[in-house]
Amino acid sequence: MGVRIRVAISLSFVSLAGRADDWPQWRGPMRDGVWRETGIVERLPEGGPRVLWRTPIGPGYAGPAVAEAKVFVTDRRKAEGVERVLCLDAATGKILWTHAYPCTYRGVSYDCGPRATPTVSGGKVYSVGTMGHLRCLAVEDGRLVWEKDYVRDCATRIPVWGVASAPLVDGKRLIANAGGKDGAIVALDKETGDLIWRVLPDQEMGYAPPVIIEAGGTRQLIAWLAEEVASLDPETGRVHWTQAFHCEQGLSVVTPISDGERLFVATPWKGALLMRLAKDRPAAEAVWMGESEDGSIEGEKGIHCLMSTPFFRDGSIYGVCHYGALRCLDADTGKWRWSTYEPTGRARWSNAFLIPHPPGGDRVFLANEHGDLIIASLTPAGYREVSRARLIEPAGEAGGRPIVWSHPAFARRSIFARNDREILCASLAADDQDPAAPDPSRSSRPSGG
């Protein structure tokens, strides 16, 4: 039997996971991308799920966080020269407060707005912008508690696609991939912002957020930078082990995943790396890598992920390749069980986010870049679509096509999704899908605007 795993976040996040109605950070309460609420629709209604509210916001790639009956999202007002953190009422979409700060983008490609989902814990929201402005704000009123500037305080070199790594709360620490000259991974006191430790100096930061796993009888902080994967002691920063894995153009983006026995990462050009985790100590060894380069469907091994984090299930790995192919891999060998473009379409960087629901089943919600929400069955035997509906219009642009590249939040038996013009909340509750019900946002002025 494999080592039991959970993503071990702070005590506050553990309690939030039990409530099951919040999505307080990147990839949910346990940072594993799994939606655990019950009472959710089996199929999407014709015409799509009922939209509860819509609120105008500015552009950005950062997904929303939902906690304490509030929604937190970031955007950019380019003409005003600011990035913003917005707090909305989760029930109505009304903007409760806005925190804006000056921010000039320099040398950043795809410059529409912030990338990192806010992290909410203990009455505070932690937000990091494209140029490395880390803010700790009071949830109640948006008051600035403390702030850091990665460039000023850590001597960070901002990567070409900006800072994208969402910070992680663990106990009294806020852990961030700050890319600093004296330590790429830093732990700060979450109440004061004071430095606790920093490690892995002089490394290109990449884009991946840190996660905590349990394996080998040890809580391990996994950091994936542009040149290596590292396991750290989250309390002290001590390095347990490292594995060299060079990412072309620094594209370590997806969140590292683990099933307690294995650890997996994947990058667009070099492909995937699967590591075997030791059972009795914090150690790991490489098992296989995917070697093909074009990400096409003609092949037999590996996956080349850009934005969409894969997931483990029953000896398989499911994920989206950087040309759009949704693939199922044999976790032991990396060989494909199947590959399809059905939920995504085929184009460079074509994307869909994968959200298993409920845990342990074969059902997955897919939010693709076209603004569609899909319910599908994913098994080693193949992909079977159950239902699909347009959720939100793609309002951004990439590669000459309209896109939505923001990961939605799943909370309060609803989905919270944003594009470059608005954020919306749509009900996915099984008992709230009357197709005749009016969309309030289409018959009245949008809230918050």
The enclosing domain of 200 has a CATH number of 2.130.10.10
Q: How many domains does the chain have?
A: 1
Q: Which residues 6+ apart lie within 8 Å of 175 measured at CB?
A: 167, 168, 169, 185, 186, 187, 188, 210, 221, 234
Question: Which range marks the domain in which residue 44 is found?
Answer: 11-443
The structure tokens 């900006």 sit at 162
Tell me if 2 sits within 8 A of 260, measured CB to CB. yes
Tell me if 99 sits within 8 A of 156, measured CB to CB. no
Residue 129 lies in a domain: yes
Residue 430 lies in a domain: yes
State the amino acid at position 286 in one-letter form. Answer: A
More confident position, 104 or 15: 104
What pLDDT does residue 299 have? 56
Residue 4 lies in a domain: no
**Mean pLDDT score of the chain:** 91
Residue 104 lies in a domain: yes
Q: Convert the pLDDT of each residue in 90-117 to its tens digit.
A: 999 999 999 999 999 999 999 999 999 9
Give the pTM. Answer: 0.91
Spell 101-120 as b/e; 16+ CB within 10 A means b: eebebeebeeebbbbbbbbb
Residue 3 lies in a domain: no
Neighbours of 141 (CB within 10 A): 10
Residue 448 lies in a domain: no
**Mean pLDDT computed over 313-341:** 94
> How far is residue 428's CA from residue 433's CA, in Å, rounded to a whole number?
8
**Mean pLDDT computed over 144-161:** 97
Residue 6 lies in a domain: no
**Mean pLDDT computed over 237-254:** 96
Q: Which residues 6+ apart lie within 8 Å of 129 measured at CB?
A: 74, 83, 101, 103, 114, 116, 135, 163
The candidate with the shortest Cα–Cα distance to 414, out of 96, 100, 90, is 90
Residue 222 lies in a domain: yes
